[in-house]
Chains A and B, each alone.
Chain A
Amino acid sequence: MVVLLSTYLLAGCAISNRDGPIVLKVAQASNENEQNFLGRFESERRINNEYIQDLSEKQPDIRLHPSIIPAEKLEQELRVQTNSGLGPDLVIANSNQALSLLADGLTDPLKMTSELQKTISAEALKRVKTSDGSLAGQPVSQYIQLACFDKRKLAQAPKTLAELSSDSSHDKVFGMVLNMDDLYWSVGSFGAGEALAHSLADKKTTTAADKRLTNWLRWLKTASYQQNILFLRTQAALRAALISGEMSWISCWSNQLPQLRQALKEHLGVARLPDGTFGRATPITRLQVWALGKNSSKVQREESLKLMEFVVQPWAQKTYALKFRMAYPVNPAAAQIVNKQLPGGLAEFSEAEYLRITRGDRIVAAIQKSPILKDAIESTLSEIIFDGLSPEKATVQIKTQFKTKQ
């Protein structure tokens, strides 16, 4: 035993020797809402490998060792590892997860120089700031909700909900996921966000705001009555249906584009989600954040910070945004460069979008934080789509659920 331990310790010293690259353990939360999907990390793993290989070439002092953790298990897994001193050096998660991990003491707050802060969009930084002003992590890129369609079945994606309804009556099958994250884009089209945000803040809502919420719920119900508009449980199911040709159009996330591109090749169309009569669609974004693990050694921490600084520089932001064409840069300078070269929908995303998505982000974060609230909201949406719940009753039900947070 002693011999074994001595060997290990010697090996450990050898690893810390600066002659070779420093190994950094990276835990990445899978953002895909795809429970029980066997190959759900396949595409993420492939992209990770390419990304890491690229980074290793640019940063020869660092060797990244990533492991993907299902989003629903992230906190639990990190707690077990961190309590043992075996936590990762870097945690890649979305902004809400990063804030939650910091609050739980599973990551360290990040101290960024003002110079480095200038390289990142101010709105993106706001999303990782805690109430006491500390940063839960560093924003690196953002994934956007889009419309993905098969060009062989649909020449052009519908720009409005009315067009969507019209196309669905011409044998074009449309698919959406039945949860608030994925349906929130349509909330903006009816201006129903105000009622939800006020209820969440336990404020009184106006009759007009309530009516807009009811209109949104009514649209959901009406859409569910249509033969060619389908609501499925997971993004994986939607994606499979688009690839197999069962669907013509689905709501998708930009980080899923590589899989769809691989399957549909030049037939994949990407567009913005349709607007409504009240206003533009309000897709939420998933901000990818790099946070610092708690157990790193001094050298590992230094290298982690160095790497984090590197990945938000314009060159890295531009290169990776264009290489993988699945995320929007957080560096405004890089965003300007790549804007024209990104696929439809992604390219149309701009700094101004932040202002509209902040509300949605807060609402979705509140839902994700409380499993009881999440289940309750999904149950209500399910009742209105599949059962006989009226939009008026659903409005009251959802407002109550938001107010009581359950």
Chain B
Amino acid sequence: MTSPLLLTTISPGAIADEFLVWLVYLNRGTVQLQLLLVALVMLAEHRGILRRRVKHRLFPEYIRVLIGPLLLLFSAAAFSLVGLPWGLLRYFGLLWLGWMLFTPLKTLLLRINKKFPVEELESTFLRPVYVIVASISFVRLMGSMENLSQMPVANLFGVELTLGRIYLAIILIYTIFTLASRPATFLAWLSGVLLAVRPRNRRGLELLFRYSFIIIGIIGVAYYIGINGTAFIAIAGGLSVGIGFGVKEIISNFISSIWLLFEGSVRPGEILMINGDPCTVRKLGLRATQLKRGRDGAELLIPNQTFFTTEATSFTQTETSRRESVFVGAAYEHDPDIIIEILEDIAKSHKKVLEYPNVRAFMIDFADSSINYKLAFWVANPLDSFDVASDLRRTIWKRFEKEGISIPFPQRQVYPMEWPPTLQQSLHSTGGRGVVPQGEPPEAAGSSEESSGEANP
């Protein structure tokens, strides 16, 4: 039935059979009585009957939610006193109490420390632990622990996998994924201290450590459940076929992420130009890189392989400072030397403009209406360049105003037109060379624009 090189399900029916046998317990009056009581209390709680009766300011909502489970636990104690089986009442009472305790626990933790990552603790640790404990204790209560844990359900490359092993493997892999970041952070910090790794490189190192822990952990779990080296080779063979057909993109992105980490070109904290916008790398994931765009705070998810196949501009790869420029025009009547001096003076006086490399202003063009200048300066943080350029433009305007320097700009005069135009208008609009045919309206019906040359403000 089982091929040594195939994943084959052996007996899902046996698992179903084990679960169905639990229904046999419903033949017993004491079991029915306990379940009925549990159902009644839960129903009363669901309809709010229990909480309505205990409305008092001394009992806040997060305490009143405990009434139902506590009632079940008291019932269990009463059953025990009169010699009736009580374990189911206690089990459901404790299960319910555990669930309801999350709320007061979170409130308490937040009161102690407002910055405590309660939500993360709840979703990554408390609730998974709760589910594991609840499921294991329920199976144990039903007396099926050994049967289910020893039940063979699949054959992976000749290795018989029992339900217990698979369940344990899932728990272990989840634990490894959840906790791998802690020792990785510690090791990255230690490397920083011992090997003088720069802080921005530490985050990349941390990810490398994390992936290493995960890979080692998964291999360890696989060995623990009995998958040996031969099976690994078989899995690798199977994967290579799978990669070729179905999961090429995923694997490509994953390999890209590892490569990028080793190369150090895309690390958390790095600033990259994406479509002309500076973006900070937040997280280098297995599939995609998460970036935050400085302009609007949008989070971008870019597949890792994109950084392999397309060009990316980095402002933090080897040096973080960035050169930015501001363009401005001044009227022909002003001395360019004075303008250049003013521009350099303005840039130098800004706090975020670096002293070195030097600020430079250039005269770059004799334009139609102005002499154009370029003010080039350097900032330490690429993300500041936009703000600094804006500051400088404002200061230039104010300074030019103060110094009486004008910034010329093209002006247009607009004349209303009649339709159909008079002969004089037609001759005027065609420069005296022709007439617009009758019945064909001009493109800008009802108006005509005429450049009147440039004027100083």
Contact = CB atoms under 8 A, between A and B. Distances in A.
Whether chains A and B associate is yes
Interface of A: 1-2, 5, 8-9, 11-13, 15-16, 23, 25, 27, 41-42, 45, 65, 67-70, 77, 80-88, 295-297, 299-300
A67 B146 contact: yes
Interface in B1-55: 21, 23-32, 34-36, 39, 42-43, 46
Contacts of B141: 80-81, 84, 86
13 contacts: A8-B26, A11-B23, A77-B145, A80-B140, A82-B85, A83-B86, A85-B28, A85-B30, A86-B142, A295-B30, A295-B85, A296-B28, A297-B29
B265 interface: no
Nearest to A11: B23
Nearest to B40: A2
Given A80-B87, A85-B85, A15 B140 contact: no
Contact of A297 (B28, B86, B146): B28
B146 A86 contact: no
B1 to A, nearest CB: 16
A295 B83 CA distance: 12
Contacts of B25: 12, 85-86
Contacts of B28: 85, 295-297
Q: Sort chain B's interface into a size bin.
A: 20 to 34
A311 B26 CA distance: 27
B312 to A, nearest CB: 52
A69 B23 CA distance: 21
A84 B86 contact: yes
Candidate in A2, A9, A16, A297 with the most chain B CB atoms within 10 angstroms: A297
Q: Among A16, A27, A65, A84, which residue has the most Cβ atoms of chain B within 10 A? A: A84
B147 interface: yes
Contacts of A13: 26
A65 B17 CA distance: 10
B91 interface: yes
Nearest to A70: B146
Given A45-B150, A69-B146, A86-B141, 19 more contacts: A1-B46, A2-B39, A8-B26, A9-B32, A15-B24, A15-B27, A23-B24, A25-B24, A41-B146, A67-B146, A83-B87, A84-B34, A84-B88, A85-B34, A86-B85, A88-B143, A297-B27, A297-B28, A299-B27
A47 to B, nearest CB: 14
B85 A25 contact: no
B144 to A, nearest CB: 6
Nearest to A82: B85
A39 to B, nearest CB: 8
Contact of A12 (B23, B87, B88, B143): B23
A81 B143 CA distance: 7
A59 to B, nearest CB: 17
Nearest to A88: B143
